[in-house]
Chain A
Amino acid sequence: MNADLAVGLVLLPMAGALVAFGLPAAYRRALAAAIALGWPLLLLPLTLLVLRDGSIAVVFGDWQPPLGIVWRIDGLALVMLWMHAAVGLAALVHAWPGFAPDRRAAATFWPLWLVLMTGANLALVTADLFNLYVALELVTLTGIALVAITDSTAALRAAMRYLLLAMLGSLMYLAGVGLTYAQNGTLAMAGITALETTPLVLMLAGLMVKSAVFPLHVWLPPAYANAPGPVAAMLAAVVGKTALIALWRVWWLAGDSASQALAMAIGVMGVAAIVYGSVAAMLHPRLRMVVAYSSVAQIGLLLLLIPLAGSDAFVASGFHLLVHGLAKAAMFLAAANIVMALGSDWIRRLPGLDSKLPLEAFTLALAGITLIGLPPSGGWVSKWLLLQQARSNDQLVWMVAILGGSLLSAAYVFRLLAMSCFHASHHARRPIVTRPPRAGSLAALLLALAAALLGLNPTPMLNLLATAWPGAAS
């Protein structure tokens, strides 16, 4: 077992993408599937290594920092790598019939899917600020191309809005990286000893645009809602989450020098995101927009880690990242099937869903339970730990925010469920337009099940995450 295997996490999908662009369109899908299936085989030895040593470091070409690029896989990165593998595989199963080689979009979908996984894995494992910039650019640009793949006016407009804001965000991040380098003489995260407010705020602001923190979220709902189901699942679980992890990591670079006022400001943005996202999700008349706005709210919850700043909050947030990624991907996959079956994504068309598409209704309910944080789902574990941290810090405000956010998410989830199962309407008698493929429904259900069942025995996962807490060393 060798830590250099980690290089394969990026090299494998990247080589796959390059080869796929050269292959005839008929074989691209099969190549993507082969790589997605080989992924766990690569992750397994790395997992054993991380469990044994706590973290893996890869130094490229024996060029040590300050000049060389270092990768580091800690518990958090490892958990997220597995989440990418799971969501990637589910998205692949769901996209299998929809992007069959005879479809127009298939020729570009599969290579782009591979590039997206390349960038997402790179963003997780790199411990170098500029490497992170390159990885995030890769993720965002392919994510946007995948949003635009349906070629509808709404999707193109959403992709354009996303692209303009993402470019603004990456510029701010790059400016911050430049200033950080000027001060520290290195780009390796471990070597950064001094981080002043200006570069810190620039980097944070850039990453906030990319991870869609309120009020910089405006690109997110239309982009997620107009993307095909598998793409929306990948955007929610992979693209948004990697930017958020980058945001946490940059914040920890500042260490104790970061001001308390800044942490408070970020916490307030988080609360605003929870309230705004949840209320918008409660009121919006379209199913996929509701799921997308719920992401805005959940991102707000994940921001609370910064003012809470404790090991419990860290473990809870890492765990929530995982379960929310799984649950949200499941919801987007199920929502895509529902839209396909009903021929519309208006919520008033949902009545009768429980008898028309029982699997999808069940998936929505299961994933919804995780979003709300009802026991025994994974979301319950993370919210409980967050509350514990807030209580031990005596930070009542954030406690209220977490509890209020859970209530609000219950409101929008139950609205969907009530409309689907208990609402009498003439729409209930309408026949199904197109029956969605069974494999895609099962993939969504499995993701939702995983998110819900992770709450039953979370301890091993929580212990693994705890080893990655950056405050443990100091």
Chain B
Amino acid sequence: MNDPLVYVLTAAAVFGIGVHGLIAARHLMRKLLAINLMLSAVFLLLLATSAPLGQAPDPVPQALVLTGIVIGVSSTAFALALMVRLVRRQGHASLGRRDER
């Protein structure tokens, strides 16, 4: 099971699930979770491609993932703050119309 292809395919599948969630979910919290799922998929992809079979892993993609995590966490925190503001303003956490929430 140490074939990188397995991880790449898993990353693609998880990314796909995230895209589906981002489009299909109504609640903003679910949309944000979907985005975080996609974020994990991208990190998995970066790490899987950085360690070819039987060789020492390349540290650069790991550094990229670390930076990516920081950016992902801050974007998510910002999005959550924005969501809380929005809920206070309009009373529900979706971008749809009030009647179709």
Contact = CB atoms under 8 A, between A and B. Distances in A.
A340 interface: no
Residue from the set A67, A137, A160, A177 with the largest chain B CB neighbour count within 10 Å: A160
A65 to B, nearest CB: 12
B71 A178 contact: no
Interface string A182-213: 10010100000000000000000000000000
Contacts of A145: 78
Given A151-B85, A161-B95, A130 B90 contact: no
A151 B89 CA distance: 9
A153 B15 CA distance: 31
B45 A178 contact: yes
A390 to B, nearest CB: 36
A181 B61 contact: yes
A167 B85 contact: no
A171 B60 contact: no
A153 B82 CA distance: 11
Given A137-B75, A160-B86, A164-B22, A130 B67 contact: yes
Contact of A163 (B61, B64, B71, B78): B78
A179 B49 contact: yes
Nearest to B79: A163
B25 to A, nearest CB: 10
A148 interface: yes
Interface in B25-54: 28, 31-32, 35, 38-39, 42, 45-46, 49-50
Nearest to B4: A182
Contacts of A175: 15, 42, 45-46
B82 A178 contact: no
A365 to B, nearest CB: 36
Contacts, number: 85
B16 interface: no
B10 interface: no
A153 B45 contact: no
Contacts of A182: 49-50, 61
Give chain A's interface secondary structure class. helix
B45 A179 contact: yes
Interface string B57-99: 0101100100110010011001100110110011000010000
A174 B47 CA distance: 13
A408 interface: no
Nearest to A158: B95
A171 B72 CA distance: 9
Contacts of A160: 28, 79, 82-83, 86, 95
Nearest to B75: A167
Contacts of B39: 171
A168 B86 CA distance: 20
A159 B42 contact: no
Nearest to A66: B60
Given A164-B22, A171-B38, A182-B49, A157 B74 contact: no
A141 interface: yes
A178 B85 contact: no
Given A167-B79, A187-B60, 14 more contacts: A130-B67, A137-B71, A141-B74, A148-B82, A153-B89, A156-B89, A157-B86, A159-B82, A160-B82, A160-B86, A164-B32, A168-B35, A171-B15, A181-B64
The 3 A-B pairs at the shortest CB distance, nearest first, are namely A182-B49, A178-B46, A153-B89
Interface of B: 15, 19, 22, 28, 31-32, 35, 38-39, 42, 45-46, 49-50, 58, 60-61, 64, 67-68, 71, 74-75, 78-79, 82-83, 85-86, 89-90, 95
